[in-house]
Structure 1
Amino acid sequence: MENKASPAERGYHMPAEWENHSQCWMGWPERPDNWREDAVHGQCVFAKVASAISKFESVTVCARASQWANARDQLPQNIRVLEMSMNDAWFRDIGPTFVVCDRPLENKTQIVAGIDWNFNSWGGAIEGCYADWDLDSLVARKILEVERLIRFPHSMVLEGGSIHVDGEGTCITTEECLLNPNRNPDLTREDIEHQLKLYLGIKKIIWLPWGLYGDDDTNGHVDNMCCFVKPGVVMLAWTDDEHDPQYERSVEDYSILSKATDAQGRMLQIIKLCIPRPLFMTEEEAAGLKALDGKQRISGTRLATSYINFYIANKGIVAPAFGDEERDKEAFCVLSEAFPDREVVMIPGAREIALAGGNIHCITQQHPAGLV
């Protein structure tokens, strides 16, 4: 089902991630030019992430026909596995952005719908991560068909990882990504703001200059840099090391946030969450990749690792652990304090997802619940 009126015009808005979910959507990695050793290690970590989330809410994992049996064997039985074609498994960016309509209806039910944004592999034919993304472009539509939800198609290129909302009218994003000419060169900042307001049902956008250092795949998605914890509170990737190239980015973003107000007029409380110490792709890891049409990954490249890239589940937080014992423990404590009513689960081996260009938030997509 499609609708030509914009979501906001129909009374829809994008809810905050901490609001109740009916399920979580994930893909299943397999492409050998992005997931080393034919994705054996990546699939293991995806299974850990899906299993952890499934303790808090339902999970659906989509896998290509050739991988369906493999995914089914690796995942617990309480997780639904659907056959679905895709070019890669980044469901935050290729899946729909779900919105809800809470205008009073006769049956008093909150209606869920989905936005199907345009996708160009994070930069198009020249700068994108792989040359063919035709299958990815259909994933959002397929999910909405499966769930029989209203579809709001949009021609603007946008990935779900480039936005965070508080559910009360505020969106946070980065100039580095949304204003990059490899996305929507014909749209101005004002044009983009207007479309976000029409489709997300928001009233104010806070523009951060930068995403995480080294996040070249996505051109600085906000979900690796900053997120809302609750209305009026944000969490920011941070480092105290003034010699780290991340430092200036964090300081500049902090400066913007410290002066910003949200759509409700509140000044923002900022929680700093330190990134792990610099991690780099090893020769062994790079050698495990096969040359296809994907972005070349070279040994010695610094990985874009951040604990901000976590998933908020019903009553849970599922976050990456990178093997930096001190920083992993610190992240667990900061997240536990920020979300006192949720159980924090750290996923060991999240480095495998970072090797391919993202992390836990990037591979998940929350499906909000229809509330009676």
Structure 2
Amino acid sequence: MSTPAADGFRMPGEWEPHARCWMAWPVRGETFPNGLEAARLAYAEVAKAIAQFEPVTMVCPDGEVASVSLAVGKDVAVMPISISDSWIRDNGPSFVKNPATGEVAGVDWQFNAWGRNYDAFEPDTLVARQILDRLKLRRYEAPLVMEGGSFHVDGQGTLLTTEECLLNPNRNPHLSKAEIEGHLRDQLGVTSFIWLGQGYEQDETDGHIDEIATLIRPGLVLAMTTDDTADPNYPVFQDNLERLAMARDAAGRELEVVTLRTPARREQAGVRLTLSYTNFYLANGGVVMPLFEDAADDEAIRTFKKLFPDRQIVPVPALDIVRGGGGIHCITQQQPA
């Protein structure tokens, strides 16, 4: 069976032009302790913010098309498909593109609800297939349990990820690190790997990279830090910064690293919320970034304006998304132009 890389495909960097952004409407009540209504309002605000810059399609169950259309407004398209959760970065397709022909295709990862954190996730194993079928795009079925939020690429051969997630025995216990790298080369067209260690404390995704670090452009990484040496994240973030300092990308470049400090600790039912500014969406000409009603928000906005001088920065309240276990990056998926 052929692979994307063998057929000339690669996954573009998120800063490359998009045809569309995909999102999925909140439907699982147990995911959002503040209630579905609060989550839906937050998702709608993100969709409207992104729609200023590029087309957005919100997928939802068949019977909810009318109500979702009213909630997201006329500038957001709504598509009925079967879903059981609303983290399309993880259960939707990872889009790849053939630079020579311009053809776009999709990688359909095996999805097991973040190591079987939730039951009744079967509809989400079919989300990528349903979207790619609707788009009439080529679909590659990957032999790997993965989520799109567990890696970043620079579109030039480099992949950034964490050992905590990709080497977790609740994903691919039968595969070695080298074997996992081989599958990622085949599916995403990458050649070089930067492995960080652990992710955000008590992150139910087991260390998704989009909570702790992201590639802004080739050679430039934005990473979360904390000055609080008593914070369990402190040694984790320090180790990740040391790894980034030693790393080289696929082009052999040293990485420039910009840091942002985490907001003050908040918990929900005794579990720490993953409050992260690296969990944002990079749109055509814009950046939709999270706000957490924290003193660190202002510093984050200033940093984003410096990092993206040619893009409009749109801050959006994100606490009601984070209470569900993810962030703005987790609920979005870019489709390359």
- TM-score (normalizing by structure 1): 0.89
- Residue deviations 1:27-83 (CA, integer Å, cap 9, x gap): 000211112354000000000000000000000000112322221111120110011
| Equivalent of 2:75 in 78, 102, 127 | 78
Question: Which residue number in structure 1 is paired with residue 321 of structure 2?
Answer: 353
CA distance in 2 between counterparts of 1:110 and 1:34 reads 38
| Equivalent of 1:49 in 46, 49, 52 | 46
User: Structure 1: which amino acid aligns with 2:68?
Assistant: A
CA distance in 1 between counterparts of 2:68 and 2:298 reads 30
**Does the 8 A contact of 2:34 with 2:320 survive in 1?**
no
Asked if 1:303 is matched to 2:286, the reply is no
Question: Which residue number in structure 2 is paired with residue 205 of structure 1?
Answer: 193
Gaps of 5+ in 2: none
Offset, 1:129: 2.2
**Does the 8 A contact of 1:117 with 1:158 survive in 2?**
yes
Question: Which residue number in structure 2 is paired with residue 323 of structure 1?
Answer: 293
**Does the 8 A contact of 2:34 with 2:323 survive in 1?**
no
Question: Which residue number in structure 2 is paired with residue 119 of structure 1?
Answer: 111
Question: Which residue number in structure 2 is paired with residue 195 of structure 1?
Answer: 183
| Equivalent of 1:222 in 197, 209, 218 | 209
Question: Which residue number in structure 1 is paired with residue 8 of structure 2?
Answer: 11
- Residue deviations 1:179-225 (CA, integer Å, cap 9, x gap): 0000000000000001101111011011000111221x100000111
Question: How does 1:17-166 map onto structure 2 within 5 Å?
Answer: 17-36=14-33, 38-103=35-100, 109-123=101-115, 128-166=116-154
Question: Which residue number in structure 2 is paired with residue 285 of structure 1?
Answer: none
User: Structure 2: which amino acid aligns with 1:146?
Assistant: R
CA distance in 1 between counterparts of 2:139 and 2:271 reads 39
CA distance in 2 between counterparts of 1:228 and 1:31 reads 31
Aligned length: 337
**Does the 8 A contact of 2:275 with 2:322 survive in 1?**
yes
CA distance in 1 between counterparts of 2:31 and 2:183 reads 32
Q: Alpha carbon RMSD of aligned pairs, Å?
A: 0.9
Question: How does 1:333-344 map onto structure 2 within 5 Å?
Answer: 333-344=302-313
CA distance in 1 between counterparts of 2:192 and 2:119 reads 35
Offset, 1:155: 2.4
SS in 1 for 2:335: strand
Asked if 1:312 is matched to 2:294, the reply is no
Offset, 1:149: 0.3
The runs of at least 4 aligned residues of structure 1 exceeding 4 Å deviation read none
**Does the 8 A contact of 2:143 with 2:183 survive in 1?**
no
SS in 1 for 2:302: helix
SS in 2 for 1:82: strand
User: Structure 1: which amino acid aligns with 2:285?
Assistant: K
Question: Which residue number in structure 1 is paired with residue 221 of structure 2?
Answer: 234
SS in 1 for 2:156: coil
Offset, 1:249: 0.7
CA distance in 1 between counterparts of 2:271 and 2:263 reads 15
CA distance in 1 between counterparts of 2:75 and 2:322 reads 27
Question: Which residue number in structure 2 is paired with residue 292 of structure 1?
Answer: none
| Equivalent of 1:362 in 324, 330, 334 | 330
CA distance in 2 between counterparts of 1:66 and 1:322 reads 33
- Percent of matched pairs sharing the same residue: 44
Question: Which residue number in structure 2 is paired with residue 270 of structure 1?
Answer: 257
User: Structure 2: which amino acid aligns with 1:47?
Assistant: A
